[in-house]
């Protein structure tokens, strides 16, 4: 009788530990997808802030400048078609935004960034 009770407790313990293990694996997968979503949101937030600053400094005219703190590191490339386009990228994420002035930037940007209008050319450092 005692051996049967011990075996039942052993089975209950094994099932309980298995359920806990499965739950932990699920939580780790959820955490990974949440971290990816957070990185995307930080990237988009940095782009919106920087793009707005670029266009605002351009509209205010020569000599104006702003500083802002980026929450994600990114790189910029500018191209001219009918109007100026700025491609922001970070690893495998990329987004294109229009600009109203020519933009020149250092290759990699992160942390505190300065946006300055120098004779109609926006310089980002």
> pLDDT tens digit string along 15-55?
999 999 999 999 999 999 999 999 999 999 999 999 999 99
User: Do residues 111 and 70 touch, judged by C-beta distance below 8 A?
Assistant: yes
pLDDT band at 89 (very low <50, low <70, confident <90, very high): very high
Calpha distance 77→18 (Å, rounded): 51
Please give the sequence-ordered ranges of beta strands (E in DSSP) within the chain, or none if there are none. Answer: 65-80, 84-90, 93-99, 102-105, 108-118, 121-124
* pTM score, whole prediction: 0.80
- Domain ranges in the chain are 2-124
| Helix-strand-coil split of the chain, %, nearest 5 | 45, 40, 15
């Amino acid at each position: 009788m005692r051996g049967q009770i011990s075996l039942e407790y052993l089975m209950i313990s094994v099932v309980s530990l298995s359920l806990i293990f499965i739950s932990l694996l699920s939580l780790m997968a959820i955490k990974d997808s949440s971290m990816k979503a957070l990185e995307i949101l930080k990237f988009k937030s940095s782009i919106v802030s920087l793009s707005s600053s670029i266009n605002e400094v351009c509209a205010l005219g020569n000599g104006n400048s702003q500083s802002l703190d980026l929450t994600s590191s990114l790189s910029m490339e500018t191209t001219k078609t009918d109007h100026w386009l700025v491609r922001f990228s970070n690893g495998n994420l990329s987004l294109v935004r229009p600009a109203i002035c020519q933009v020149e930037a250092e290759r990699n940007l992160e942390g505190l960034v300065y946006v300055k209008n120098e004779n109609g050319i926006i310089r980002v450092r």
